[in-house]
Amino acid sequence: MDDQRFTQIRSLAEPILAEREMELVELTVRPQGRQQLIRLLVDKIGGVTIQQCAKVNGLIGVALEAANLIEGSYTIEVSSPGLDRPLASRRDFERALGDEVVVQTAFADGRVRESRGTVLAVQQDAVVLQMAAGNVTIPFGDIRGAKKAIRWS
């Protein structure tokens, strides 16, 4: 699929998602057998339910049909990125406000430190974690990896 069509699909989907306070995290369009697979990963603060994904899937399908952007048959998949998705952007940390996360930071000598805490605030250039020993501010430039902490009860 060409870049223009990819951009058109993104432009069509984003307002539908924005109306539901959702954000497009990733869009992929690729051949799958004799048809195209259009996969949208969506997220929002508090997470996305299966029912919300199904509703958005239907709305985007109707909009794609009306715009006649895809030649031939296609399948649309709308899903959440999942619990173990890496937190890579400022927006990812904003969505994780109030959640427990694990953040890896690297030192110049190669050592890596892992910090576990609750996302208390997201600043322009850093994230603030509430930890047992107190609040810690970690600059985004020092983060080598981060994800939500998963607790099994």
- Spell out the domain ranges in the chain: 3-79, 90-148
Q: pLDDT-derived band of residue 2, with 50, 70 and 90 as boundaries?
A: low
For residue range 29-46, what is the model confidence (pLDDT) as tens digits?
888 888 999 999 998 877
Scanning the structure block, which residue is given the tokens 């890579």? 88
Give me the percent of the chain exceeding a pLDDT of 70: 96
**pTM as predicted:** 0.64
Q: Average the pLDDT over 48-65 and give the result.
A: 94
Mapped onto helix, strand or coil, the DSSP state of residue 134 is: strand
Q: Does domain 3-79 have CATH number 3.30.300.70?
A: yes
Ramachandran class of 104: left when φ > 0, alpha when ψ lies in -120 to 50, beta otherwise:
beta
Q: What is the per-residue pLDDT for 1? A: 54
Q: What is the per-residue pLDDT for 43? A: 87
**CA–CA distance from 16 to each of 39, 47, 51, 78 (Å)?**
15, 17, 15, 12
Which of the following CATH numbers is that of domain 90-148: 3.90.1170.50, 1.20.1730.10, 2.30.30.520, 3.40.50.2300? 2.30.30.520
Report the amino acid identity of residue 19: E
Rg (CA), the chain: 19
Q: pLDDT-derived band of residue 125, with 50, 70 and 90 as boundaries?
A: very high
